[in-house]
Amino acid sequence: MEEPLFGGSDDGTFVPFTDILFNALLGFAVMVFVAFALINPAAKAGNVELKADFIISVNWPDFSPDDIDTYIQDPAGNIVWYHQREAGLMHLDRDDRGNYRDTITVDGKVIANPLNQEIVTLRGTIPGEYIVNIYDYASETKAPIDVHVRVEKVNPALVVLTSNTITLTGKGDEQTASRFTIANDGTVAEVAQVGSIPQMSLVNKLLQPKR
């Protein structure tokens, strides 16, 4: 008869003990795996949810120091602008002031962001007409500037309502770039044609005393 590997006698309890120990370790490993899976769930590549029904984007030339502002009025008379960045269901995501604060210094190297852009999102809609105005707040270049305005319906599918360029003549110039009407069912009922958009000053409206 062969002697036990580690000496002594084997009464049959060694094998069951190792089985229990192995199963316990296996169970612990499974619990650790599940815990980490819950703590750090796998990211879904390319899955970006945009919580908006309409997006209005306003762009002017990169690196331009001119400060262009966006004013939008909804059917209820709410106006979103740089002093009122949330009005009704409208949100001004960023007030871009030209090249102001568009650079940072990292390890002695200046990094610049050339993009000049303001974006307003409509996170829900009410029926009626929306008016999109562009205003030249500060013209450091003291020259006419081209501003591109794009209005998109993004929910449930992307539809470009207007995409046009207007030219602001200088500081204080305000132009209505787009007017569109939303029906009761949320669809777009009417879009003013580029070249024949009725003008309305929202800056002057804000300056009027409230009754």
Calculate the alpha carbon distances from 162 to 51, 58, 197 in Å: 21, 12, 11
pLDDT tier, 40 (very low <50, low <70, confident <90, very high otherwise): low
Asked if pLDDT for residue 180 goes beyond 90, the answer is: yes
Structure tokens at 117: 């852009």
Cβ atoms of residues 26 and 18 within 8 Å: no
Distance CA 117, CA 11 (A): 81
pTM over 0.75: no
Q: What is the pLDDT of residue 58?
A: 96
Question: Residue 115's pLDDT is what?
Answer: 80
**pLDDT value, residue 96:** 79
Structure confidence by residue, pLDDT tens digits, 120-163: 999 999 999 999 999 999 999 999 999 999 999 998 889 999 99
Q: Encode pLDDT of 72-90 as tens digits.
A: 999 999 999 999 999 999 9
CB 119, CB 56: distance < 8 Å: yes
pLDDT digits (tens, 9 = 90+) for 182-206: 999 989 999 998 889 999 999 999 9
Confidence band (pLDDT; 50, 70, 90) for 3?
low
CATH architecture of 54-207: Sandwich (2.60)
* C-beta neighbour count of 205 within 10 angstroms: 14
